[in-house]
Amino acid sequence: MSFASKVLDLSSLPQGSRSHYEKLLHERHWTVGHNSSKEATTSLDRQTLLTCSLCSSTDRRADDTYDHVFRLCPHSLLHKCRTDLNRQLDQYQLTTDLEKRLIPHIAQLVLSPDGHHICLGKWNSVQLTSLASVLIPTDTSEAIEAVLLDFSRTLVLRIDALW
């Protein structure tokens, strides 16, 4: 979480913005899936609350309902937004050898299941292992962190646009 704090610059954000990102980091947003259905009294109420209000899909019943919002929902506006954001990923300026190896790989991970976590700087062990596959022994930890931090801050804009 310390990298996520750096990416989001949580310490300098106003309380409202900090709370928004902390809810996203801990997947506690009320409007998403299981959080929105906690007070359902019947299974029908729960099923209704877990159905996407944009596309009427039941994907939100899965464990990771955030993935539905950030990657799967076919609603035309979300789909267009994701397409535009994917185009921006493709146009990111790559100047160093490290960027040319890391950024395309990160972009692929962002588009995969659980990729929204990366956009917030919250990497899981599988994603980190995958990222390690494109590193070479001469890559310094400082250079890697600098590239990840810079690119991750552009990915936060992706989360904000989709949310």
DSSP alpha helices (H): ranges in 51-114? 65-67, 76-90, 97-110
d(CA 92, CA 114): 21
Report the predicted TM-score, pTM, of the whole model to 2 decimal places: 0.71
Cα distances (Å, whole numbers) of residue 152 to 8, 10, 59, 126, 137 = 9, 14, 27, 17, 23
Confidence of residue 163 (pLDDT cuts 50, 70, 90): confident
Give residue-wise pLDDT tens across range 82-136.
Answer: 999 999 888 999 999 999 999 999 999 998 888 877 877 778 889 999 999 999 9
Per residue in 41-77, pLDDT tens? 777 766 666 777 778 776 554 544 677 778 888 889 9
> What is the distance between the alpha carbons of residues 158 and 128, in angstroms, rounded to a whole number?
20
Structure tokens that stand for 114 in this block: 């659980």
The pLDDT-based confidence of 10 (bands split at 50, 70, 90) is low
Kindly give the residue spans of alpha helices, DSSP state H, lying in 30-96.
Answer: 33-36, 43-49, 65-67, 76-90
Q: Residue 113: what pLDDT? A: 83
Quickly state the pLDDT bin for 23 (edges 50, 70, 90): low
Ranges of H-type helices in the chain = 2-8, 15-25, 33-36, 43-49, 65-67, 76-90, 97-110, 115-119, 125-132, 141-162
Q: Which two tokens stand for residue 117?
A: 């976590």
Distance between CA atoms of 77 and 52, rounded to whole angstroms?
14
Angle at 93 between CA 89 and CA 96, to 5 degrees: 125
User: Does 15 score more than 50 pLDDT?
Assistant: yes
Max avg pLDDT among 36-45, 59-68, 138-147: 138-147
